[in-house]
Amino acid sequence: VDYVTNRRLREALLDGHSMEAQFMPGADNDASKDICVMSAMQSGGMGIILPAGSGDICWWVSVSPNGVNRWCKVSSGVVPRKGEYYHVVGIWDKAAGKALLYVNGELKGSSDASGELVQPATNDYKWLCVGGDTAKDAAESAFNGDVALARVYDAVLDESAVKALWDEAGKDFGKSVTDIQDVLYLPECNVSAGSMIPVSATGLRGVAPRWAATATT
């Protein structure tokens, strides 16, 4: 979601905001590297992330008190498990100078986050990535799994609003009827809209084991 030219969205983030995501890991937790569920974090920004080392659900936001940039990192202590859905809300409250993190409707952590929001340094990185983190002309720190819900609010949600979102969120997503295995993951695949992405796996219904999908973004 590009916000370089979307001045309304860009400016709406500056006075406090909330980010909501509901996701399910599709692979066992790999704490050897950063994994981003939904973020825009390149020399500034914010995001919901499973960081290297801990692998738990975290909310990061970059702020600048007194002109000094720093990352405010809020940890939940909740390490997501493969096949389970988690509802997450990260909040930056500029007025209170706080960052807060909720998982499944419960407050899991908070931290000082006073100052101004630091946005990514260049326009190349001013976009929100669902299922990864922003990089120039591509995404990185990709998430393996399902992101069922992704929203950003121009509001600092209070506890009752977060609990209402959790109550309204889907709880029973069922199970996939297609057992896809032996997926070949490409180390890098830069594509443009309308181009073809080669996919290789077994278990795809009604198609050959190797097929091509059309990129829409």
Separation CA 30–CA 175 (nearest Å): 23
Written as tens digits, the pLDDT of the chain (217 aa) is: 888 888 888 888 999 999 999 999 998 888 899 999 999 998 899 999 999 999 999 999 999 988 789 999 999 999 999 999 999 999 999 999 999 999 999 999 999 999 999 988 888 888 889 999 998 888 899 999 999 999 999 999 999 999 999 999 988 776 655 667 777 777 777 767 667 777 777 776 655 444 455 554 4
Please give the pLDDT value at position 138.
Answer: 83
Please give the pLDDT value at position 63.
Answer: 96
Please give the pLDDT value at position 210.
Answer: 46
Handedness of CA 121, 124, 128, 132 (dihedral sign): negative
Please give the pLDDT value at position 163.
Answer: 97
List b or e across 85-117, with b for residues whose CB sees 16 or more CB atoms inside 10 angstroms.
bbbbbbbbbbeeebbbbbbbeeebbbeebbbeb
Please give the pLDDT value at position 213.
Answer: 52
